[in-house]
């Protein structure tokens, strides 16, 4: 191999690159605890996302993007991941090789990359990605940019994929539930100069090294950018992890470490995507958001009615409803828009399901209400139950009259007693809550070989017939407990001290109105204090050493912002229509958009009215008079929403 490298000439570099198979490293371990208690029994990458394991979306995209070899790194619950891959179609795909590396000692992404470096399996540029990422982007352009940049500058070792996504100025988080991200990028070269995802909002400022301003003629600051966690890496990245054992976290340690390292001079660049989709499931809120994006077909061709990765395709019906072929449904049952019903599921009379995903083999009784929830496989829900924005794992039984309030997570095989109401944001599991909490949220010790001693005596075993984790006690059986009502089985985990805010921020449930109201008031107070100080930076803008007149650029940005604002308001309004969200909650969401985009009340009123008329046009009609009736009906139903902004306009005019 050394002789081959020695004999290669510069003129042959491009041909040599072409002969190297395009490789990807897929991290099948989250190294995080955000999905506990579920991930105590099943690895995150095997959790169903719209009835398909997360890792299948990642592998399907890599295959479609031209990747030829994928190295899957397995740590927590490694046997389950390897077993899934061996029983799936991924190991028998032509021109697409999937191999696994298993480790029981790695506790971070840094450890994983150091082990992969030792195995000497990477032979050129590679894609670094985790198995909880969904995308449909093409890799052609970003690979070309990375390789051409590397030819000119050997220190250009990584290209990060990013996408525009405004964070809420109220909650300081993105639509995926992640913290607001601040980035500084050279607008000419696209080099990343600054990265901060843990800003101190109490100071209302971010601090940049003054050398950034002296060494770069132009810097573009962003807090409207989403990190897609898709990286194009040169082989040097692996050696850098090996040389520095302080590198554990990919962003917090490695990226930030390279940005402040003046000795080695390694550089990271960015590639922004626009029309393509790319997002990572980091928490329960992003699980909910990305599920909705899949159902609404933003991730095409990786959608429920297209067969990929061994999934069973479902039929797309009206209003974004997907139904498998072998579903038994009572005539009086109502299946609402943006809902997926899995194969072999039975639905009783007068049951209503909307904006939800139901897995395979479920039995749902009569007079059940399911709204905005995710029901996995083989779940039994008896008569008169009610579920609102909840996650229900495999094998759960809800006895008659049980209620799940928003944000509840029921782990595998939990039983909820009759008439029992599970409070908001509760997490219930057959495992007792670990007494010792991990000191670093980035470390996941839920593996058979590490950390299991911290749990109760329940040990997980895999049912080989269906690959589903079943829970057994090594000693005495888990007894019914009054904690979950009569006949209930499981433990309710308590919310850790200081984690109450994180629960509603990262939950699949909509943010409560009182929390939004408090956040809006706090933001307005902060803005008033900041503006008194004199200078305020826009949400995202460019800093230049020399002041240059850029009215044309500003006008173009303003037009783009107006279009984005109208789209956001339209999406908020349509979601309110389909999910029956109260008008007061919609007003709070539109107010947060108004502050985010720095718009007037008149802009809100115009965007809402436009959305109303669009809804009226899309409602079936056969004549102009019916169209007018549709418009009147929409305005009448949502008059409080529209009137709130029209009243504010009148007040502004009077002032």
What is the average pLDDT across 86-106? 85
Rounded CA-CA distance 255/268 in Å is: 8
CA distance 265 to 258: 8
Tell me the CATH architecture of domain 561-654: Alpha Horseshoe (1.25)
**Is 80 exceeded by the pLDDT of residue 126?**
yes
The pLDDT confidence band at residue 46, using thresholds 50, 70 and 90, is: very high
Range scoring the smallest mean pLDDT among 2-6, 169-173, 422-426, 640-644: 2-6
Higher pLDDT, 639 or 346: 346
Of 72-76, 186-190, 292-296, 563-567, least confident by mean pLDDT is 563-567
333, pLDDT greater than 80: yes
* pLDDT surpasses 50 at 101: yes
Name the pLDDT band for 510 (thresholds 50, 70, 90): confident
CA 32 to chain centre: 14
pLDDT category at 543 given cuts 50, 70, 90 is low
Whether 600 shows a pLDDT value over 70: the answer reads yes
pLDDT at 523: 58
Lowest mean pLDDT among 76-85, 89-98, 354-363, 594-603: 594-603
> How many whole angstroms separate alpha carbon 420 and alpha carbon 402?
5
More confident residue, 106 or 481: 106
> Among residues 460, 451, 433, 441, which one has the least CA distance to residue 105?
451
Listed by start position, the domains of the chain span 23-285, 312-433+486-493, 561-654
Band (pLDDT 50/70/90 cuts) for residue 611 is confident
Radius of gyration of the chain from its Cα atoms, rounded to whole angstroms = 26
Identical fold for domains 312-433+486-493 and 561-654, yes or no, is no
Tell me what pLDDT residue 205 has: 63
Strand 346-347 versus strand 225-233 pairing type? unpaired
Where is mean pLDDT largest: 310-324, 350-364, 477-491, 608-622? 350-364
Confidence of residue 581 (pLDDT cuts 50, 70, 90): confident
CATH superfamily name and code, 23-285:
Spore Coat Polysaccharide Biosynthesis Protein SpsA; Chain A (3.90.550.10)
> ∠ CA(444), CA(450), CA(454), 5° rounding?
85
**How many Å separate Cα 555 from the centre of its chain?**
32
pLDDT at position 382 is 94
Q: pLDDT tens-digit profile of 154-175? A: 999 999 999 987 766 666 677 8
pLDDT-based confidence at residue 57 (cuts at 50, 70, 90): very high
Greatest alpha-carbon pair distance for the chain in Å reads: 83
CA 107/CA 155 separation, integer angstroms: 28
Per-residue pLDDT at 622: 64
Residue range 108-118: mean pLDDT, rounded? 85
Phi, psi of 16 (to 5 degrees): -65, -40
- The residue with greater pLDDT, 59 or 315, is 59
CA distance 131 to 229: 11
What is the C-alpha separation between 319 and 569, in angstroms, rounded? 20
Q: Are strands 182-185 and 468-473 parallel, antiparallel or unpaired?
A: unpaired
Would the pLDDT of 534 be above 60?
Answer: no
554 touches 540 (CB < 8 A): no
Q: What is the pLDDT of residues 432-482, one digit of tens each?
A: 887 755 433 333 333 333 333 333 323 333 333 333 333 333 333 444 456
Those residues whose C-beta lies under 8 Å from the C-beta of residue 210, and which sit 6 or more positions away, are none
Q: Residue 468: what pLDDT?
A: 39
Give residue-wise pLDDT tens across range 241-273.
Answer: 887 777 777 888 888 888 887 777 889 999 999
Pick the CATH number of 312-433+486-493 from 2.160.10.10, 3.30.1280.10, 3.40.50.2020, 1.20.1530.20: 2.160.10.10
Handedness of CA 640, 641, 647, 648 (dihedral sign): positive
SS3 113: helix
Indicate the average pLDDT of the chain: 77
- With b for 16 or more beta-carbon neighbours within 10 A and e for fewer, the 574-593 pattern comes to ebbbebebebebbbbbbbbb
CA distance 533 to 315: 58
Q: Is the separation of the CB atoms in 399 and 383 below 8 Å? A: no
Identify the pLDDT of residue 651.
35
């Amino acid at each position: 191999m050394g002789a081959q490298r020695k004999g290669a000439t510069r003129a042959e570099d491009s041909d040599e690159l072409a002969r190297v198979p395009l490789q990807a490293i897929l991290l099948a371990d989250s190294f995080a605890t955000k999905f506990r208690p579920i991930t105590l029994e099943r690895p995150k990458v095997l959790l169903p996302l719209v009835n398909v394991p997360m890792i299948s979306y990642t592998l399907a995209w890599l295959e479609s993007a031209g990747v030829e070899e994928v190295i899957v790194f397995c740590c927590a619950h490694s046997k389950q991941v390897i077993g899934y891959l061996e029983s799936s179609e991924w190991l028998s795909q032509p021109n697409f090789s999937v191999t696994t590396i298993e480790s029981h000692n790695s506790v971070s992404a840094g450890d994983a990359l150091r082990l992969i470096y030792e195995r000497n399996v990477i032979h050129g540029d590679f894609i670094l990605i985790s198995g909880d990422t969904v995308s449909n982007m093409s890799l052609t352009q970003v690979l070309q940019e990375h390789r051409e940049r590397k030819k000119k500058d050997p220190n250009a070792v990584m290209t990060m994929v990013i996408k525009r996504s405004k964070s809420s100025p109220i909650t300081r988080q993105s639509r995926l539930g992640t913290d607001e991200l601040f980035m500084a990028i050279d607008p000419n070269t696209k080099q990343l100069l600054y990265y901060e995802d843990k800003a101190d909002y109490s100071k209302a400022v971010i601090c940049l090294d003054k050398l950034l301003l002296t060494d770069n003629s132009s810097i573009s600051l962003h807090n409207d950018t989403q990190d897609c966690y898709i990286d194009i890496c040169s082989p040097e990245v692996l050696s850098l992890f090996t040389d520095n054992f302080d590198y554990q976290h990919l962003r917090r340690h490695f990226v930030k470490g390279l940005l402040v390292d003046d000795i080695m001079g390694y550089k990271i660049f960015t590639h922004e995507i626009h029309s393509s989709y790319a997002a990572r499931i980091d928490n329960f809120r992003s699980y909910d958001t990305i599920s909705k994006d899949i159902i609404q077909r933003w991730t095409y061709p990786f959608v429920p009615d297209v067969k990929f990765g061994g999934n069973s395709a479902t039929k797309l019906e009206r209003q974004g409803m997907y139904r498998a072929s072998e579903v038994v449904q009572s005539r009086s049952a109502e299946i609402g828009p943006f809902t997926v019903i899995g194969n072999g599921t039975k639905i009783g009379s007068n049951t209503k399901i909307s904006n939800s995903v139901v897995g395979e083999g479920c039995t749902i009784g009569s007079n059940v209400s399911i709204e905005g929830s995710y029901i996995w496989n083989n779940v039994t829900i008896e008569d008169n139950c009610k579920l609102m924005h909840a996650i229900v794992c495999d094998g759960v039984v809800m006895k008659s009259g049980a209620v799940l309030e928003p944000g509840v997570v029921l782990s595998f095989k939990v039983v909820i007693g009759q008439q029992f109401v599970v409070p908001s944001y509760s997490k219930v599991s057959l495992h007792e809550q670990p007494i010792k909490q991990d000191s670093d949220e980035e470390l996941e010790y839920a593996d058979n070989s590490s950390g299991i001693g911290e749990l109760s005596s329940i040990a997980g075993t895999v049912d080989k017939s269906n690959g589903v984790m079943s829970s057994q006690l090594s000693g005495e059986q888990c007894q019914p407990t009054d904690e979950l009502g009569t006949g209930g089985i499981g433990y309710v985990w308590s919310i850790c001290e200081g984690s109450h805010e994180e629960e509603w921020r990262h939950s699949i449930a909509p943010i409560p109105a009182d929390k939004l109201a408090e956040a809006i008031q706090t933001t307005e107070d902060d803005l008033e204090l900041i503006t008194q100080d004199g200078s305020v930076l826009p949400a995202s803008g460019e800093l230049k050493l020399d002041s240059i007149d850029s009215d044309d650029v500003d006008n173009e940005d303003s037009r783009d912002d107006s279009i984005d604002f109208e789209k956001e308001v339209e999406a908020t309004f349509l979601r309110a229509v389909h999910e029956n969200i109260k008008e007061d909650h919609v007003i709070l969401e539109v107010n947060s958009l108004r502050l985010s985009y720095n718009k007037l009340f008149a802009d809100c009123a115009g965007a809402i009215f436009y959305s109303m008329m669009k809804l009226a046009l899309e409602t079936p009609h056969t004549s102009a008079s019916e169209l007018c009736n549709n418009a009147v009906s929409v305005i009448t139903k949502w008059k409080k929403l529209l009137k709130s902004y029209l009243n504010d306009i009148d007040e502004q005019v009077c002032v």
